[in-house]
Structure 1
Amino acid sequence: MKFIRIAGLYIFIGSVLLFIATLFMGNYTLSQTSIEKTFDGKDAKVTETFIAVAKENGVLDKTYNDQFSFINDVKGLFDKHNEKITQAVAEEKGITSTQTKKIINDATQGGSVSYTKDVLEKNLAEAEVTSLDKATNWMYSPKKTYDSAEAFQKDLKTKISEINKNKAKDFLLYDNKYARFNITERAATGIIADNKALFLFLTFGLGIIGSLMFIISRLFLKPIPGIKNNGIYLNNATNRGWVGIVVFGFLVSFYVLLYFHPYIISNWTNILDPVKSIFIENGSASQWFLYGILYTVSMTVMGIRMFIKYRHNQYQVVRTASVLFFQIIFAFLLVEILPLFDLPGVDLKNAWPLDYNFLTDWNVKNYLDSGHLGKFMFFWGFILSIVVVPLLVYIYGKRWYCSWVCGCGGLAETLGDPYRQLSDKRLIAWKIERWLLYPILIFAIVMTVVVGYNTYNIVVTPELANDHTFLGINAYAINEWYGFFIGSIFAGVIGTGFYPLLGNRTWCRFGCPLAAYMGLIQRFKSKFRITTNGGQCISCGNCSTYCEQGIDVRAYAQKGQNIVRASCVGCGVCSAVCPRGVLKLENGNDDGATRHEVPEVILGNDMDLFEMLEESKK
């Protein structure tokens, strides 16, 4: 069995190294076919123009050895495409360069600028006069005076360019991370593109097999009942040693590439095309499909590890099964299946404010345009966040979501379990937790109000939709900033990437606004508490050590005080690792202050030791 365990480790490491190496394999060729696939669904004029621009710039059918040089040449094509297609649209239904020159000549005769509506009517058709008059009436003489003809030309050409671009907006392409990813993925050629199924097996397949060999063999090597954390602070993988730092580097790099430079990992998505084709014929995997697969596979494999490690604790087994069910069914399969029925591909268990895009205009329109079921899903989002979440927190505490349902919590409890002892137990960490968590909740509320107001105007009162601000805050800007700092950097890069350094619940403890929302309810109005039998506590410290939320559980146990903390996610590991059965997760009566008070007797089984001493002297 030891040989199988070691072999599994080597197989897993080999698959990971190959997975990383695939980023540097294969070639990239911007062919006519790849362009057509990239812009499939857009007007034929878009494809034709981009092909022409690529050919003019010597990029069409040119082979590149890596995605960096490929993108370096391709990214400039977007602006050139927009210029070319804007000119074409202008010639067809806009203001042409010839007309622009005539307007400038007529307005600058005699060396001075005399720009009026008459000049427009002389050179343009009625429709063009109307649009240019609306855009440039502030430039009319004598309302506006120009010191030079060049300044006038600059203003006029800028406005005409804006008008033409607006007419061509359906044909424009934008150079952003998604466009770069799409075109890079479809331009891939060579060993990866030609052997997707093989590399799927060599990376994901062997990675899963190796992991399971390493994990399951432990069941036979250490069959003695009990939760084994032996040597956890001596292991370089779990004590912030060099292995942990390597894992930290990989996780952080992955999230940075996923969120900000997805075109670099296009080979990884190509590898998953055979899996995507299960849902859509000849489907092409996106970076989010890659993330969903990695997330689900990681949780499943490490969930099996949880089943083995905590197999003698029924609560942990059932809880792990629950988070796996919700991740596999709700967060992955339904997200892929629902769009096949023209329904929004959303995670139906994702509650506000964790789902910070819930009230964005594009998301709401997506719901409302998806028929009655789509409208019900939108309504369910409100019910889940406003009714279901607080009600179940009142009955069961926030553990019902954080430890039984949530995908973030599910990953933390499975993939992050080896790092739970790294959470900071110091008082300063508790203070930082409160300084960060609740301002983020306020940020989420403000962002939601601003975005919701903007969405209401767009959907219900379109006449008010021109101004996307509320309380002086731009709805799109605040949503973008929230998504960048909280949704990407905090939840992803730090929240998961820092598992090997800060523990597995950094996001849940310091950044999750939903955890803050539920925590307030749990702290002040909930039936949930962890009760303690202080007389049995031997102060071993296991409970505090393995509390992923950094709660000093031992301090409560020593006083015989119930643990009622806003941050507690009810994972139950403190109770599971206690050798004396001191801790118990309970849903009792909501007795208000009695949930928090310190009992008068803190030692023994409710016995007065001094009274016993006096009795013994008689």
Structure 2
Amino acid sequence: MTPAFAAPPLPAAPAAEKLALAGVAAGLLALLLALADADPTRGQWWLYGALALLTGGTLAWSGLHYGRRPAGVQQHNLWRRASTSRGAVAWVTSLVLTGFYVVLYWFSGNDGHGHFGVLNNLVHALDAFSRALRARPADQWFLYGTFYTLAVLLMGGRALWKYRHSRYQVIRTVSVMFFQLGFAFLLPGVLQFFQQPEFYFNYFWPLKYDYLFPGTVTSLLQSGGLGVFMVFWGAVMSLLATPVLTYFFGKRWYCSWVCGCGGLAETAGDPYRQLSDKSRAAWRWEVRLIYPILAIIVALTALLWAHFATGNTLLGEAGNVGAKWYGFAIGSVFSGVIGVGFYPILGNRVWCRFGCPMAAYLGLLQKHFSRFRISTNGGQCISCGNCSNVCEMGIDVKQYAQRGEPIIRASCVGCGLCSTACPRGVLNLENGPRTGRYQASPLIHADSLRILG
């Protein structure tokens, strides 16, 4: 017997969208063929064909899917689709992503003879591109950087179609695409082409934790004037510019506009933002994890400098071992395997919310010293829940909106999707004066006075 209130079947995709998705599927198949084909020339053609199909299919589907809809954030059937509600498709996607990171980190290292394990064919298929950009053959990290950047650009194109009605979202998406392509991919490659140290100008300590380690600093200082500038840039951005910028703009200036991790989350991870856990238990785990991780990297950095100051006698090998274990547990397992691999299951900001020391550092500044807040007008809230549904950081925004309270949370990355998704204009991102940051809406106070009177 059919239930009286059975949900209607999901709407079928138009034929043009199915054709675009078929192109994406063909691209994934060509990628597998490039991985398996032992012939270098044929493998290279398979890879470039795969990238072309993935690019064309993704952009065509985005234009067809979102271009035909009215502008605005639409969340129809998100919790009914297997790909966006922890269904079978989501689990398979998570398994593939997790497997890729495991292979990348631990089964694709150079064996000393130019062989990169399981990913060898894909790596060497990019040799010509790598030589043109970096004047050296490709390695597993160049392959990863290429895939990572392509994901940000393609899914950034999708985000531009989806949020084309919001000027803030369009500019923010273009920003993360620009910084990933220019500062995290092309510029480090060009530096290597001219035999300079590889350096990522959009990553800072404590996220890029080794940039203020004594070994890295010493190596850069020995590289000449550009290396000295890199040390200066890293130190100033981490210790001076970050507090100043966060005071005026909150952590959004970095987490939602510049950071490559945030860029991937906002683009490739956008379909999964509604999966973030809004429970108090999740918030307690957030506090238990992210601040101790920040404390660990601060303490480790200080100890390594003390070790360096004593002529490398204070810690012996313990300092290097500690740095390696931090890189393994936090830099690889947490940020990569879990942080990206679990997008389809836990949401797109698992790393940023629970593990990123930069997010913890910026969050403390934002909560206690920043002018940034999200103001709310409770008198206009209709309790639709759209704002909470799109919050990738697990903040139950609706509860603040209903009470007319400003949102001043250390975890908020200022992506602005809560404001973009609100149908009544209840939420506004502001960089106002620090006075009054914690005051509720005047309208709420007036209503309360009338009730009490």
Same fold (TM over 0.5): yes
Q: What is the aligned partner in structure 1 of residue 378 from structure 2? A: 534
Query: What is the CA distance between 1:215 and its match in structure 2?
Result: 1.3
User: Secondary structure of the equivalent of 1:469?
Assistant: coil
Query: What is the CA distance between 1:233 and its match in structure 2?
Result: 0.9
**Pick aligned residue for 1:555 from 382, 388, 399:** 399
| Contact 1:197 1:274 (C-alpha < 8 Å) held by counterparts | no
Q: What is the aligned partner in structure 1 of residue 247 from structure 2? A: 394
Instruction: Work out the CA distance in 1 between the residues paired with 2:314 and 2:24.
Output: 50
- Count of aligned residue pairs for this structure pair: 433
Q: What is the aligned partner in structure 1 of residue 162 from structure 2? A: 309
Query: What is the CA distance between 1:454 and its match in structure 2?
Result: 3.5
User: 1:269 is matched by which residue type in structure 2?
Assistant: V
Q: Does 1:337 align with 2:337?
A: no
Instruction: Work out the CA distance in 2 between the residues paired with 1:16 and 1:325.
Output: 26
Q: Does 1:425 align with 2:278?
A: yes
Q: What is the aligned partner in structure 2 of residue 367 from structure 1? A: 220
Q: What is the aligned partner in structure 2 of residue 264 from structure 1? A: 118
Deviations 1:471-494 (A, max 9, x none): xx8111110000000000000000
Q: What is the aligned partner in structure 2 of residue 195 from structure 1? A: 42
| Contact 1:543 1:573 (C-alpha < 8 Å) held by counterparts | yes
Deviations 1:160-186 (A, max 9, x none): xxxxxxxxxxxxxxxxxxxxxxxxxxx
| Contact 1:450 1:474 (C-alpha < 8 Å) held by counterparts | no
Instruction: Work out the CA distance in 1 between the residues paired with 2:96 and 2:33.
Output: 13
**Pick aligned residue for 2:72 from 223, 226, 247:** 226
Q: What is the aligned partner in structure 1 of residue 97 from structure 2? A: 251
Instruction: Work out the CA distance in 1 between the residues paired with 2:441 and 2:61.
Output: 47
Instruction: Work out the CA distance in 2 between the residues paired with 1:512 and 1:535.
Output: 36
**Pick aligned residue for 1:216 from 63, 85, 95:** 63
Q: What is the aligned partner in structure 2 of residue 236 from structure 1? A: 82
**Pick aligned residue for 1:356 from 191, 203, 209:** 209
Instruction: Work out the CA distance in 2 between the residues paired with 1:362 and 1:261.
Output: 26
Query: What is the CA distance between 1:596 and its match in structure 2?
Result: 2.1
User: Secondary structure of the equivalent of 1:358?
Assistant: helix
Query: What is the CA distance between 1:17 and its match in structure 2?
Result: 2.7
**Pick aligned residue for 2:363 from 498, 505, 519:** 519
Given the superposition, is the C-alpha separation of residues 551 and 558 from structure 1 closer, same or farther in structure 2, using an over 3 Å criterion?
same
| Contact 1:10 1:210 (C-alpha < 8 Å) held by counterparts | yes
Instruction: Work out the CA distance in 1 between the residues paired with 2:53 and 2:309.
Output: 50
TM-score w.r.t. length of structure 1: 0.68
**Pick aligned residue for 1:2 from 9, 14, 24:** 14
Instruction: Work out the CA distance in 1 between the residues paired with 2:377 and 2:181.
Output: 38
| Contact 1:5 1:218 (C-alpha < 8 Å) held by counterparts | yes
Give the number of the structure whose alpha-carbon radius of gyration is greater: 1
Q: What is the aligned partner in structure 2 of residue 434 from structure 1? A: 287
Deviations 1:341-380 (A, max 9, x none): 2321111121110011113454223311221121011111
Query: Which of structures 1 and 2 has the larger relative contact order (alpha carbons within 8 angstroms, sep 6+)?
Result: 2
Q: What is the aligned partner in structure 2 of residue 23 from structure 1? A: 35
Instruction: Work out the CA distance in 2 between the residues paired with 1:581 and 1:279.
Output: 46
Q: Does 1:545 align with 2:398?
A: no
| Contact 1:196 1:273 (C-alpha < 8 Å) held by counterparts | no
User: 1:213 is matched by which residue type in structure 2?
Assistant: A
TM-score w.r.t. length of structure 2: 0.91
Q: What is the aligned partner in structure 1 of residue 451 from structure 2? A: 610
User: Secondary structure of the equivalent of 1:595?
Assistant: coil
Instruction: Work out the CA distance in 1 between the residues paired with 2:18 and 2:219.
Output: 50
**Pick aligned residue for 2:179 from 314, 326, 337:** 326
Alignment of 1:35-50 (within 5 A): none
User: 2:367 is matched by which residue type in structure 1?
Assistant: R
| Contact 1:419 1:500 (C-alpha < 8 Å) held by counterparts | yes
Query: What is the CA distance between 1:257 and its match in structure 2?
Result: 0.8
Q: What is the aligned partner in structure 2 of residue 476 from structure 1? A: 320
| Contact 1:558 1:602 (C-alpha < 8 Å) held by counterparts | no
Query: What is the CA distance between 1:260 and its match in structure 2?
Result: 0.8
User: Secondary structure of the equivalent of 1:531?
Assistant: strand
Instruction: Work out the CA distance in 2 between the residues paired with 1:25 and 1:245.
Output: 28
